[in-house]
Chains A and B, each alone.
Chain A
């Protein structure tokens, strides 16, 4: 009985232990939505029309979807294998041209919108509507074509640009644009595939041709950069009386030539220009050649190719490359001329005046004068502080003589004793002195003093045999006889007026020419007695051509070449004012480097 009660109690407790507090609920009464709603959307893109065009790099598409006022929770666009998912009603995405090849496609958008009922599922975003919209899409590869711009010089010698017409893939042609450096030209004919550039004359220029479409798209068909192609200008001096310029340009053009503030010719379509030589010794002139477009209407923008050249306009030729000669040397045996410019010694073959040899000297102290040996090929180049003995044929240096002190050489020198000795006179502050140097080792053989009255001479020189040292001071002319022991005799010649020139007869060391008041006198060096005289008013003696013995007379603007033997004028030439001229080997030379071969004129 008792155990039964306990069992019942325990069973009751177990039942009660299972009795748990029952939780309440919070039900909300919300109307469940049903049915479908209308969905819509708008796409905008650069090429949105009836269909979306995907081209170039791709197309950016912007969308704005609607779902009858319901909140759109996602828009999923599918295009081929590509998908874009957005959790908003609007946004943008980019369809790349690489996504699909050319063709027609469909862009599908699946829209999910909330029901808006306010239910838990609505709030959790899983209750709503699903709709689908579609748009046609056309993929077109509008890649720019390969550059096809080429150029040629056409039969009329004009630059002609040409290009190919690319596949326009349905785009509407607007124009071809040709970009010049300063303007743009538009061609509206789609089949016009070339353009003749009349304004091009060889200048550096760039051109670009674009194909423009109505939608604003622009393709570059090519660009072109042309380096300047200067026309060739050749100078022909073969004519006796004039210089002929010949112009050769690839492109049709006219030429204008400008020289010293005036136009020699303007807009000439000739391919040559002839100008007369100017008088002998005239300095070179800078000439500017402007090649302009052939047609006047193309010359508006100062398009031209300009070239400037220094042109020798003097009669004769230029002893290239010198521009000024402090003095010339002449080797009558080789008929070779020596000259110096900067730190170079040049030798030319006469009478053609072709450059024979060059020699670089050690410093910039120019050569004051040259002396050629009457016996061999030695040439002495006198500089301020040294004397270079050269081998004339090869123009190589044999030895350099360094005098004990810097000297001023006062005139022609002489190789004597079969070139073993070099004899020269110097003038300096303490007086005038003669020196004889050995040519083999450059040592002093001897030196000698000269009388004090000789100190005042400002022009002096030795005869080619070294026996006479002559000089002039004002109205007085001196002749010193040089012996082994020095000056052995002094002769003076007092004139009636200032001696305006003198020169020794290099073919006859016993004779010297003097000029004063238009009278030319030939004197004997030994006693300064007059041998013969000539009358050439206004003229003074220049030099005697060692090759012919012809005497060069000159004044300010004229030279005369006379034959002293017959006292006949062989040639008269107008020269540039105050230009010092020389005559060597029948070639008239100017200090400015001009040379005029008078071989034909001086023929007897």
Chain B
């Protein structure tokens, strides 16, 4: 995984010599997640109580995306950092206490992106620039599973069991989008894409050799909107 990141960094930096401007970008978005193993796990969680049901089944949720890059001519490339999280829960609660099993997944995407503008027009204010984008990198997983029984009236009854998993996925994400320039230094960014986690691995956080039988599959639709700030690197003469 480290080798892949290094290769991407090398590619990005190799274009830096030609860069016209440095870009800083923030996007907020919405992502859906496959999480097939996780859904099955939460569904099958063994809770010997009546009225238990799955309240959360790893739904899609907000994503936070931060990128820095360089842009020149019709090209735009850089590094990305994205934060995703979702969770599943099955349980019940009443006046006497509660009992549930939950799995909370967090994914930290580290990768590189490349955009190719479909138009050759200049980035003038209020101009629209559609583009194609390809991203790849790794997703650093952090999965915490808790089984909790809490009884109000009892000081001794109740239990809590917590398991923490970690691991890294490899993803690729093709996308299409467009930039709407407010001015020469800022543009509104919209994109839609699909992330596919080609490689998925989880293990006990405390023991890398203890491979988990489930994985965290972040594959799913990615919708993003954000702002790109351009910092010129070359002054036009």
Interface positions of A (Cβ within 8 A of B): 2, 5-6, 9, 12-13, 16-17, 19-21, 23-30, 32, 117-124, 126-127
Q: Are A123 and B26 in contact (CB under 8 A)?
A: no
In the complex, B83 has a CB within 8 A of chain A: yes
Q: Are A120 and B92 in contact (CB under 8 A)?
A: yes
Q: Are A120 and B49 in contact (CB under 8 A)?
A: yes
Q: Are B26 and A12 in contact (CB under 8 A)?
A: yes
| Interface pairs (29), CB distance under 8 Å | A6-B24, A9-B24, A12-B26, A16-B28, A16-B62, A16-B83, A17-B64, A17-B83, A19-B64, A21-B85, A23-B87, A23-B104, A26-B51, A26-B53, A27-B93, A27-B94, A28-B92, A29-B94, A119-B94, A120-B92, A120-B94, A120-B99, A120-B151, A121-B154, A121-B157, A122-B96, A126-B154, A126-B157, A127-B153
A128 to chain B, nearest CB (A): 10
B63 to chain A, nearest CB (A): 9
A301 to chain B, nearest CB (A): 75
**A20-B93 contact, Cβ under 8 Å, with A13-B66, A26-B53, A121-B157:** no
**A121–B56 CA distance with the chains assembled, in angstroms:** 23
Tell me which of A21, A26, A32 contacts B87 (CB under 8 A).
A21
B139 to chain A, nearest CB (A): 15
Closest CB pairs A-B (n = 9): A121-B96, A24-B55, A119-B96, A126-B157, A23-B89, A16-B64, A28-B94, A126-B154, A21-B61
Q: Chain B residues near A12 (CB, 8 Å)?
A: 26
Q: Are A121 and B55 in contact (CB under 8 A)?
A: no
In the complex, B149 has a CB within 8 A of chain A: yes
**A141–B180 CA distance with the chains assembled, in angstroms:** 103
Tell me which of B49, B50, B85, B95 contacts A20 (CB under 8 A).
B85
Q: Are A2 and B231 in contact (CB under 8 A)?
A: yes
- Total of A-B residue pairs, C-beta within 8 Å: 101
Q: Are B62 and A121 in contact (CB under 8 A)?
A: no
A119 to chain B, nearest CB (A): 4
B237 to chain A, nearest CB (A): 22
In the complex, B23 has a CB within 8 A of chain A: no
In the complex, B173 has a CB within 8 A of chain A: no
A122 to chain B, nearest CB (A): 7
Query: Which secondary structure dominates where chain B touches chain A?
Result: strand
Beyond A16-B62, A23-B56, A124-B151, 13 additional pairs, beta carbon < 8 A: A2-B231, A9-B26, A12-B26, A13-B64, A19-B64, A20-B87, A21-B59, A24-B56, A26-B93, A27-B94, A120-B94, A121-B151, A121-B157
**A25-B93 contact, Cβ under 8 Å, with A120-B99, A126-B153:** yes
Q: Are B96 and A26 in contact (CB under 8 A)?
A: no
Q: Are B26 and A30 in contact (CB under 8 A)?
A: no
Q: Chain B residues near A24 (CB, 8 Å)?
A: 55-56, 89
A474 to chain B, nearest CB (A): 127
Q: Are B50 and A26 in contact (CB under 8 A)?
A: no
Tell me which of A6, A121, A123 contacts B152 (CB under 8 A).
A121
Q: Chain A residues near B85 (CB, 8 Å)?
A: 20-21
Q: Are B59 and A23 in contact (CB under 8 A)?
A: no
B97-121 interface with A by 8 A CB criterion: 97-100, 102, 104, 106
**A9–B227 CA distance with the chains assembled, in angstroms:** 10
Q: Chain A residues near B100 (CB, 8 Å)?
A: 26
**A124–B61 CA distance with the chains assembled, in angstroms:** 35
B102 to chain A: closest residue by CB = A23
B13-48 interface with A by 8 A CB criterion: 24, 26, 28, 48
Tell me which of A9, A25, A121 contacts B97 (CB under 8 A).
A121
Tell me which of B28, B51, B106, B152 contacts A28 (CB under 8 A).
B51
Q: Are B152 and A20 in contact (CB under 8 A)?
A: no
Q: Most chain-A CB neighbours within 10 Å: which of B61, B64, B99?
A: B64
**A118–B26 CA distance with the chains assembled, in angstroms:** 51
In the complex, B52 has a CB within 8 A of chain A: yes
A129 to chain B, nearest CB (A): 13
Interface string of B66-91 (1 = CB under 8 A from A): 10000000000000000101110101
Q: Are B151 and A126 in contact (CB under 8 A)?
A: yes
Q: Chain B residues near A121 (CB, 8 Å)?
A: 96-97, 151-154, 157
**A447–B149 CA distance with the chains assembled, in angstroms:** 133
Q: Chain B residues near A32 (CB, 8 Å)?
A: 95-96
B26 to chain A, nearest CB (A): 5
Q: Are A26 and B66 in contact (CB under 8 A)?
A: no
In the complex, B229 has a CB within 8 A of chain A: yes
Q: Are B98 and A120 in contact (CB under 8 A)?
A: yes
Q: Chain A residues near B66 (CB, 8 Å)?
A: 13
Q: Most chain-B CB neighbours within 10 Å: which of A30, A32, A123?
A: A123
**A122–B149 CA distance with the chains assembled, in angstroms:** 13
B91 to chain A: closest residue by CB = A26
B215-237 interface with A by 8 A CB criterion: 229, 231
A272 to chain B, nearest CB (A): 97
Q: Are B157 and A124 in contact (CB under 8 A)?
A: yes
B35 to chain A, nearest CB (A): 12
**A129–B229 CA distance with the chains assembled, in angstroms:** 68
B28 to chain A: closest residue by CB = A16
